Amino acid sequence: MSNLIINKIVKRYGDIEVVHGIDLDIAPKEFVVLVGPSGCGKSTTLRMIAGLEEISDGTISIDDRVVNRVAPKDRDVAMVFQNYALYPHLNVAENIAFGLRIRKEPKDHIEKAVKEVAETLGLTPYLDRRPANLSGGQRQRVAMGRAIVRRPKVFLFDEPLSNLDAKLRTQMRAEIKRLHNRLEATSVYVTHDQVEAMTLADRIVVMNGGVIEQIGTPMDLFMNPANTFVAGFIGSPPMNQIEGVIKKSSDGMHVDVNGNSFSVPKALDVEEGQPVVMGIRPEHIFLENEGDSFSVPIKLDLVETLGSEALLHAAVGDENIIIKTGTEGGDVGRLSGVEQIYVPTARVKVFDAKSGLAIPERAD
């Protein structure tokens, strides 16, 4: 099991810098997901780890050896791509065996390894088929087989599920997770899909514009986003962000939103009159008082029924808010009469309006 240390890596294409000095320590066996919008530098970072892109500045180490100058084939990493990159004229067994053949491993060893991997991935019945005669999901499994069979120190995945339809994507996502639980190989996985990131990762790295916005476990990011970017990227629907102004009174601190008062937890490091963005997750808003909550009147605009849950689109003053609620009992008719919401004070996050950074609690 191998560690991977990324130290202040920079990528420049000519004069244009696209990755601005990223630091990341990945522990042995860890499954780390790089997530962020298109063009934020995820693939570039992954390709620098793989050795497919030159590193402009900084270092990458695998098992405490700096690999900046080590050729891709000597880094002992295996990469799985979105487009599978299979050899069309080779059958499944030959595709999986390809890397081992190149390394001139003994024939009986190759045969045994291919057999094992095919069994693991449910590919045994298809070993004689060519990629053209496989489904998308089967092709993706072959691509994974080719990576697994080499027993690399580090697995790298670049949007491996993006070409699959939604149902298959969910299924393959679970398979990748099971595979990781079994192989326990250090993995770096790139996706723009926050659901994939949340479900697969031990730790998520949220990237934006060539920098890291936050690193944390899925629940860290969900519960305590470091800034409004992460708050707006993680979660579905994402965290509500409501603009308001800090008001202090004898009974504590509030955010005033067009005359509606939202309590905030404990003593935050803020000034009276400071413009803030308040963050409340749609699933942290309730239609009944669950205790330690405050109520806010809303104007309901739209109810979307999703089956197991419903989304209420509403306004607080002139700010829009989305509420996620269960549909137990199946009576969604009652939802169209909602005029009031309850928000647990402890769930309210406050960000500085100017910097977008989460406001910490006062130290004293």
Ligand X SMILES: Nc1ncnc2c1ncn2[C@@H]1O[C@H](COP(=O)(O)OP(=O)(O)O)[C@@H](O)[C@H]1O
Which partner from the list Mg ion, ligand X, none does 252 bind, CB cut-off 5 to 8 Å by kind?
A: none
Question: Is residue 87 a contact point for ligand X (CB under 6 A)?
Answer: no
| Minimum distance from residue 61 beta carbon to Mg ion (Å) | 23
Whole-angstrom CA distances from 178 to 1, 175, 219, 254, 335 are: 17, 5, 20, 45, 39
Per DSSP, the three-state class of 243 is strand
Question: Is residue 43 a contact point for Mg ion (CB under 5 A)?
Answer: yes
| Minimum distance from residue 353 beta carbon to ligand X (Å) | 28
Which one of the spans 7-15, 42-50, 277-285, 331-339 is the region binding Mg ion (CB under 5 A)? 42-50
Cβ neighbour number for residue 14 with a 10 Å cutoff: 5
List the end-to-end C-alpha distance of the chain, in Å, as a whole number.
43
d(CA 263, CA 349): 10
Per DSSP, the three-state class of 2 is coil
Q: Which of 4, 24, 31, 42 touches ligand X (CB under 6 A)?
A: 42
| Residues in binding contact with Mg ion, number by CB under 5 A | 1
| Minimum distance from residue 68 beta carbon to ligand X (Å) | 18
CB distance 135 to 98 below 8 Å: no
Which partner from the list ligand X, Mg ion, none does 181 bind, CB cut-off 5 to 8 Å by kind?
A: none
d(CA 330, CA 324): 15
d(CA 310, CA 305): 4
Backbone φ and ψ of 360, nearest 5°: -75, 165
User: Whose CB is nearest to Mg ion?
Assistant: 43
Which one of the spans 39-47, 54-62, 255-263, 272-280 is the region binding ligand X (CB under 6 A)? 39-47
| Minimum distance from residue 342 beta carbon to ligand X (Å) | 39
Which partner from the list ligand X, Mg ion, none does 39 bind, CB cut-off 5 to 8 Å by kind?
A: ligand X
Which chain residues interact with ligand X by CB under 6 A? 13, 18, 36, 38-44
Which chain residues interact with Mg ion by CB under 5 A? 43
